[in-house]
Amino acid sequence: MSWTSQYSLNSLVQDFPNNTHLVVIPTSLDPLSDAQWMQKQVKIALKYYSNKKASQSLLDVTHFVITSLDEVGNWISAAFRDFACSGHGCGLSQAVFNNDDALKPPLILKRLDSRYDWLPSPESVFKNQSNEVIHAFSGCSINQTVNKKIALVQAGGCSYSKKVNAMESSGAIGVLVYAESGHPVDNMNCVDDECFTPPSIPASMIPWDKELLDRLSQGAINVTFQTTPSDNFYFAVDAQGLLSEFGWLLYPSFQFFNWQAQWFNYQTDLLARLSQEALVIPVINGSIMQGDAGVVSTVKLPSMEELLKYDKFELDASLSCPGTRDEDCPPWDHTVQLYVCCDAESPLCGQELGRWITPFRRRIGRWLTDVTALLPLLTSTTCNFTMKTVPWAAAWKPSLNLRFSKTSTGVSSSSALKPVTITPLFVGGTFDKKYNQKYHPINFTIPSDVKQVKIAAIITGHGSDENGCGEFCVTSHHFVVDGSHPNVETFNNAGTPLGCAERSPLGVEPNEHGTWLYGRDGWCDGREVDPWVFDVTDDLNSGSSHSVTYFGWFNGTDPDPVSIPGEIIMYSYLVFYKPSQITDMRRFFVRESSHPLRIVNIDVALQS
Q: Give the pLDDT of residue 147.
A: 97
Is residue 56 over pLDDT 80? no
Mean pLDDT across 223-244: 92
pLDDT value at residue 197: 82
Select the more confidently predicted residue: 367 or 194. Answer: 367
- pLDDT for the residue numbered 586: 34
- Measured in residues, the chain has a length of 608
Neighbours of 4 (CB within 10 A): 15
Mean local confidence (pLDDT), 544-561: 96
pLDDT of residue 190: 80
Is the per-residue pLDDT at 158 higher than 90? yes
Model confidence pLDDT, tens digit, residues 76-119: 999 998 887 766 667 889 999 998 777 789 999 999 998 755 57
**Domains 92-228 and 276-607 equal at CATH topology level:** no
Residue 598 — pLDDT band, cuts 50, 70, 90?
very low
Helix (H, G, I), strand (E, B) or coil at 54: helix
pLDDT at residue 182 above 50? yes
Listed range (55-64, 305-314, 321-330, 594-603) with the worst mean pLDDT: 594-603
Can the peptide bond before residue 470 be classed as cis, meaning omega within 30 degrees of 0? yes
Give the span between the Cα atoms of 444 and 544, in whole angstroms.
9
Q: What is the mean pLDDT of residues 309-332?
A: 94
Question: pLDDT grade, residue 599 (50/70/90)?
Answer: very low
- Domain locations along the chain: 1-83+236-275, 92-228, 276-607
From the candidate CATH numbers 1.20.140.10, 2.60.120.10, 1.10.3470.10, 2.60.120.230, the one assigned to the domain spanning 276-607:
2.60.120.230
Q: How many other CB atoms sit within 10 Å of the CB of residue 291?
A: 13
Instruction: Look over the chain and give the mean of its residue pLDDT values, rounded to a whole number.
Output: 90
Q: Going edge to edge, which strands form the sheet with 203-206?
A: 107-110, 92-99, 221-228, 131-135, 150-154, 174-178, 203-206, 112-113
Q: Residue 60: which residues within 8 A CB-CB, separation 6 or more? A: none
416, 448 Cβ separation under 8 angstroms? no
Residues facing 315 on adjacent strands: 369, 402
The pLDDT value recorded for residue 86 is: 66
Among the listed residues 9, 22, 18, the one whose alpha carbon sits nearest the alpha carbon of residue 49:
9
Q: Tell me the percentage of the chain whose pLDDT exceeds 70.
A: 91
Domain 92-228 belongs to what topology?
Glucose Oxidase; domain 1 (3.50.30)
Q: What is the mean pLDDT of residues 576-587?
A: 63
Question: Does residue 585 carry a pLDDT above 50?
Answer: no
pTM over 0.85? The answer is: yes
Q: 487: closest CA among 523, 521, 457, 451?
A: 457
| Helical (H) or strand (E) element with 296 | strand 295-300
Residue-level pLDDT at 589: 35
Per-residue pLDDT for 601 more than 50? no
